[in-house]
């Protein structure tokens, strides 16, 4: 805490230096061991999206008729916070499938998520609800949402354990309350998932934020790669367990990788598009309990295939002069992480790895 | 600013007093005329909701089969912030139809909303996404979302003006950019709107927050009244333009009020339930451009009927010993407010009226 605190204040004027000291005193007054967050500005904004205009003329006496009316949708929503004396590059955080900005907020067991952790480390944060999700819910395409029970699928797929047992030594938050908070944090698509719509939305957000670091999770990985292709403002990507939609240059797409869950294919982009991914530093993190060899269980085998594809992708980008690092956490001695390393019980340790990467690449 | 700043700091220890001074200095360093927000704690939580359990046994080899799986839904989501030295009662903010927590965040023209304004005034804030909306999107009931153009309906219904003209002297944010931000802030129901589900969710949130002040907007007014009946933790209600679902004691429900938009009926509750609404101070605000006499235009006439019903409701609660104040803003010389007084261009003036009410009732 003290360290990140000093980081925030030392570059500022003498009076701001005084601020740090006073804040430490205040935290004692507040009876918590955490200093308060000192937020220079916060709010929300909406970017990108499309528009439907119904032919005809709007009749204010028949307001339920769509004629001549408009419908804005497919935009992205973000809640942002700017700490005092922020670091130059803000961090945009893009959630995964069935998730929302909540992914980066309070963890299921009530600890601080990456939103607070990186604010405390002096970064401005933008927490995204992607197009057709959460508070960015208006979709230009119709959809039906059915409450089909699926939580045991996710429990296994997210490598929390093998339902109902949590993996031994798992870093996923324990207990009934945490599990319920986690299940209730799932929120549906309000329109069909469309990787182009999502990456267009995030690119539009980057037009408003300027150069930034992009954190992605799981399904967000694919739109993350496309966003870096579409927007020069992506200066680095930190991808947690990207699940699919790895993009390769035409002619270099590897053979599909079959698994007990699905058959995973790479996506082809032009050599020119692919170049964008060789211009920025990228780090990818995968957690624990991913089998090294094919297994029968779909939830397990899917990640064996995804990690394998991620390694092929890393090698391809680096062969083209890129800078992709893949960190399989157990290989560096960090055990028990689920599909959500950024909110697992050791998420401060994971944040330290991210901070180290950002420092190495002079992104902080 | 300075005043609210002193309010935050004077009750604290001497060192915290130093904090204010240092922060004012810091704001100069930051080149903004607003002091930073000093947040002791922030995060999100989920409360209430129900559960579907599919009969049968979960088969991890057939994870797409719902058998034996669960589905949590109909809960409420809230993002909370606690300033240093907070006032005793937090403020819960419940949005209206088609809206979300975004209602209380940055305004369509980029000013601070009630989230920041009341944080600056020392209140903890809880911004709600109600059950089946936004980041609380999982619904236990199926729904279909169709992109049917309707924004001109809302433009008129929300008394921004008569499309495409904004009312002369309107306090609604002007310009194309603000209008687009506003239209894109609309987000759909992910399940059927259910006033009981919403009020159960907000009541469950109040179990976690303890005693609180409830702000409601529009459609949120109805669940607000029911929440005060269901939860003793509602200590006051500030209702902005409640649209319908006014509750009256059995035998005292007034005659329905017809309008060119619909026929507005009061809802009956037991005398015992109604008593809860007589035990807390309530203030209701309505904006401008509500006709005093019946008019042909549905969007306009609907508010003539709603304001009339609100007055009958005020009189009924007060006749039973309650404390309801209805403020029709033009009657006190505040002109041009739309259906969104808390985010209109004069929202600081509106916040001052709310602060005055809270001070009078010793709620701050």
Mean pLDDT calculated for residue range B244-267: 97
Mean pLDDT calculated for residue range A196-214: 98
Chain B residues touching A63 at Cβ < 8 A: 150, 152-153, 156-157, 298-299
**CB–CB contact B71 A147 (8 Å):** yes
Going by pLDDT thresholds of 50, 70 and 90, the confidence category of residue A29 is very low
CA-wise closest residue to B129 among B99, B89, B90, B91: B99
Going by pLDDT thresholds of 50, 70 and 90, the confidence category of residue A8 is very low
* B124: enclosing H helix or E strand: none
**CA dihedral defined by B9, B10, B12, B14, rounded to 10 degrees?**
100
pLDDT tens digits, A223-238: 999 999 999 999 999 9
CA distances from B129 to A146, A335, B224 (A): 20, 35, 14
Mean pLDDT calculated for residue range B332-358: 98
Residue-level pLDDT at A32: 56
Residue-level pLDDT at B32: 56
**CA angle, A274 as apex, A272 and A279 as ends, to 5°?**
100
pLDDT tens digits, A309-352: 999 999 999 999 999 999 999 999 999 999 999 999 999 999 99
Question: Rounded to an integer, what distance in angstroms lies between the CA atom of residue A104 and that of residue A282?
Answer: 19
Here the tokens at position A250 are: 């035409």
What is the CATH code of the structural domain delimited by B39-361? Answer: 3.40.50.1820
- Shortest distance between the Cα of B341 and any Cα of chain A, in A, equals 18
**Chains A and B: how many Cβ contacts under 8 Å?**
312
- Say how many residues make up chain A: 364
B148: nearest CB among A53, A71, A144:
A71
Residue-level pLDDT at B320: 98
pLDDT tens digits, A110-164: 999 999 999 999 999 999 999 999 999 999 999 999 999 999 999 999 999 999 9
Question: Rounded to an integer, what distance in angstroms lies between the CA atom of residue A262 and that of residue A305?
Answer: 9
Percentage of residues of chain A with pLDDT beyond 70: 91
**CB–CB contact B190 A137 (8 Å):** yes
* C-alpha atoms less than 13 angstroms from C-alpha of B204 in its C-beta half-sphere: 20
Chain A residues touching B13 at Cβ < 8 A: 25, 29
Residue A282, Ramachandran bin (φ over 0: left; ψ between -120 and 50: alpha; else beta) = beta
Chain B residues touching A36 at Cβ < 8 A: 38-40, 84
B187: nearest CB among A18, A70, A137:
A137
Closest residue in chain A to residue B156, using alpha carbons only: A60
Going by pLDDT thresholds of 50, 70 and 90, the confidence category of residue A21 is very low
For chain B, the 3-state helix, strand and coil shares in percent, each to the nearest 5, are 35, 20, 45
CB A123 within 8 A of CB A85: no
Mean pLDDT calculated for residue range A86-95: 98
Residue-level pLDDT at A267: 97
Q: How far is CA B118 from the centre of its chain?
A: 13
Going by pLDDT thresholds of 50, 70 and 90, the confidence category of residue A33 is confident
- DSSP β-bridge partners for residue A328: A286
Alpha helices in chain B (DSSP H): 2-9, 14-30, 114-120, 151-157, 176-184, 195-209, 221-230, 271-275, 298-319, 347-360
A277 DSSP 8-state letter: G
- Would the pLDDT of B170 be above 90? yes
pLDDT tens digits, B37-94: 999 999 999 999 999 999 999 999 999 999 999 999 999 999 999 999 999 999 999 9
Question: Rounded to an integer, what distance in angstroms lies between the CA atom of residue B174 and that of residue B72?
Answer: 41
pLDDT tens digits, A252-307: 999 999 999 999 999 999 999 999 999 999 999 999 999 999 999 999 999 999 99
Here the tokens at position B257 are: 């009020």
DSSP assignments along A124-169, one per residue: -EEEEE-TTBTTB---SS-EEE-----HHHHHHHTTSEETTEEPTT
Closest residue in chain A to residue B99, using alpha carbons only: A135
- Would the pLDDT of B30 be above 70? no
Percentage of residues of chain B with pLDDT beyond 90: 90
Going by pLDDT thresholds of 50, 70 and 90, the confidence category of residue A22 is very low
Going by pLDDT thresholds of 50, 70 and 90, the confidence category of residue B33 is confident
Q: Between these two residues, A29 and A169, which has the higher pLDDT value?
A: A169
- Would the pLDDT of A3 be above 50? no
Q: Between these two residues, B40 and A244, which has the higher pLDDT value?
A: B40
Going by pLDDT thresholds of 50, 70 and 90, the confidence category of residue A12 is very low
Contacts of B232 (CB under 8 A, 6+ apart): none
A150: nearest CB among B28, B36, B69:
B69
Domain range annotation of chain B: 39-361
Q: How far is CA A9 from the centre of its chain?
A: 28
**CB–CB contact B152 A60 (8 Å):** yes
Mean of pLDDT over chain B:
92
């Amino acid at each position: 805490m003290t360290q990140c605190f000093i980081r925030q204040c030392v570059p500022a004027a003498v009076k701001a230096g005084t601020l740090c000291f006073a804040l430490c005193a205040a935290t004692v007054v507040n009876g918590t061991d955490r200093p308060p967050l000192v937020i220079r500005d916060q709010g929300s904004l909406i970017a990108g999206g499309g528009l439907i205009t119904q032919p005809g003329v709007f009749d204010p006496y028949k307001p339920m008729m769509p004629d001549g009316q408009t419908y804005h949708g497919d935009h992205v929503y973000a809640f942002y916070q700017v700490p005092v004396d922020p670091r130059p590059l803000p961090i945009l955080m893009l959630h995964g499938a069935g998730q929302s900005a909540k992914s980066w907020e309070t963890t299921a067991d009530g600890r601080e998520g990456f939103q607070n952790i990186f604010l405390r480390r002096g970064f401005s944060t933008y927490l995204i609800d992607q197009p057709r999700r959460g508070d960015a819910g208006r979709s230009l395409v119709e959809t039906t949402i059915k409450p089909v029970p699926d939580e045991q699928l996710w429990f296994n797929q997210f490598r929390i354990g093998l339902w109902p047992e949590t993996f031994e030594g798992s870093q996923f938050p324990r207990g009934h309350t945490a599990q319920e908070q986690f299940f209730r944090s799932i929120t549906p698509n309000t329109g069909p998932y469309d990787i182009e719509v999502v990456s267009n939305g995030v690119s539009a957000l980057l037009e408003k934020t300027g150069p930034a670091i992009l954190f992605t999770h799981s399904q967000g990985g694919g739109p993350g790669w496309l966003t870096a292709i579409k927007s020069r403002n992506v200066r680095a990507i930190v991808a947690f367990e990207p699940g699919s939609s790895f993009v390769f240059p035409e002619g270099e797409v590897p053979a599909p990788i079959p698994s007990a869950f699905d058959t995973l294919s790479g996506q082809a982009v032009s050599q020119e598009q692919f170049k964008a991914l060789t211009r920025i530093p990228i780090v990818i993190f995968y957690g624990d309990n991913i089998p090294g060899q094919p297994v029968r269980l779909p939830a397990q085998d899917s990640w064996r295939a995804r990690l394998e594809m991620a390694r092929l992708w890393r090698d391809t980008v680096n062969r083209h002069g890129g800078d992709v690092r893949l960190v399989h956490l157990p290989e560096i001695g960090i055990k028990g992480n689920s599909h959500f390393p950024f909110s697992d019980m050791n998420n401060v340790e994971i944040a330290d790895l991210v901070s180290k990467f950002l420092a190495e690449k002079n992104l902080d």
